[in-house]
Amino acid sequence: MIIRSLADVTRLFTHRKQCSSRIKEFSPDVVIVFRAFPEGLLTCWCGVERVILRTAGSDISYFSRLPILGRFVCRMIRRADSIITESQYEEDYLRQELGVRNPIGVIPIGTDITLFRPSLQSNRAKYELGADSVVVVSNRYLEGFYNGFSVIEAFVQARKLCSNLELLYVSPYPTTETVRERLNAIRADGDGIHIVEGPIPPEEMARALYCGDIWASFSSVDGIPNSLLEAMSCGLVPIVGDLPQLREWVRDGQTGYVVPLKDVKAMADRMVELSKNKVLRATFSLQCRKKICRDGSYEGNMQRMVKFVFEAARAQAINNNWETKR
């Protein structure tokens, strides 16, 4: 994760002059919306004066704490005219830990609820999944703080108690040879594990989610992942590690389960509980879909974001005029 991000930083630094030229050519007076890291570095390198940061997850809870690099990330965040983040927890962190004083809007990106929806058109045969199986889906990264192998370990434990459980793990990117060897070793010792190497387009991701009943993530660093919203929109019941921002979407015992971080047994126990209780799965599934339709649609949240951006720009223009008159 760090290596990939540093490669992005190097690429941005190499092309900073071209980026600066294009920004000024586009319009020097517009408010530029950037992700805090790594693209936010351009606000310093290109002399962008009016900035709204779109920041969440690792920008706040991981990169901001890194030695040396974290100082630059925090500096970018503080100098933004306004910030759009994804959870109340993140807003509180920005205020209390990073000292942000400018306006903050809590607006998750959301998901396409017409594409990601409950469906009876299961694509299980493509992934060699049993028609009557209870399928756990995960589509997070396997390595780093995403802890994908912990999800697989939890599934292996749950599978010993529920033979009808199957795991469909969709890796967002092709795995390395080392990771592939590790996965093959795990699959050789246990049944029911199906691995798909991405990337795959959103339409195919939706079809993969149509196969599932449960969605699992054990990430120890996160924002409000789109993969969670997509899964909930499709009616999958989430089991997630206990991060405060995730509790804003996954209400333990109502729209899924929240388990202690790194507690593989707790996740396995919840997989078993859900696999044995079809009525409970259906109840949670309905509540998940309702939650996304109410608060997590891409269209609705983009409207809120556009409104926030225009209001922030208007407020900044008024403030600049007032400063000029003084």
* 3-state secondary structure labels for all residues of 1-55: CHHHHHHHHHHHHHCHHHHHHHHHHHCCCCCEEEECCCCCHHHHHCCCCCEEEEC
Q: Which helix (H) or strand (E) holds 197?
A: strand 193-197
Query: Where in 61-176 does DSSP place strands (E)?
Result: 82-85, 104-106, 134-138, 165-171
Write down the pLDDT at residue 38: 64
The values of phi and psi at residue 207, to 5°, are -65, -35
Write down the pLDDT at residue 258: 98
**Residues near 257 by beta carbon (within 8 Å), at least 6 away in sequence:** 237, 238, 239, 240, 250, 270, 274
**Residues near 6 by beta carbon (within 8 Å), at least 6 away in sequence:** none
Average pLDDT, 10 consecutive residues per value, the chain (326 residues)? 63 71 64 62 68 74 77 81 89 90 90 93 89 96 92 96 96 90 87 92 94 96 92 98 95 96 97 97 97 95 89 70 52
Q: What is the CA radius of gyration of the chain?
A: 21
Helix axes 16-26, 2-14, angle to 10 degrees: 70
Write down the pLDDT at residue 129: 95
The values of phi and psi at residue 172, to 5°, are -60, -25
Instruction: For residue 42, give the nearest of 66, 68, 76 by alpha carbon.
Output: 76
Write down the pLDDT at residue 69: 74
| Whole-number Å distance between alpha carbons of 231 and 319 | 42
Q: Domain segments of the chain: what residues?
A: 2-110+298-325, 124-295
Whether residue 38 is preceded by a cis peptide bond, meaning omega within 30 degrees of 0, is yes
Q: Which helix (H) or strand (E) holds 237?
A: strand 237-241
**Topology (CATH) of 2-110+298-325:** Rossmann fold (3.40.50)
**Residues near 273 by beta carbon (within 8 Å), at least 6 away in sequence:** 280
pTM (2 d.p.): 0.86
Same fold, 2-110+298-325 and 124-295: yes
Output the CA angle 179-161-156, nearest 5 degrees.
5
The matching CATH number, chosen from 3.40.50.2000, 3.30.2350.10, 3.40.50.2020, 3.40.50.10540, for 124-295 is: 3.40.50.2000
Write down the pLDDT at residue 239: 98
Write down the pLDDT at residue 289: 97
- Is residue 240 within 8 Å of residue 256, measured between CB atoms? yes
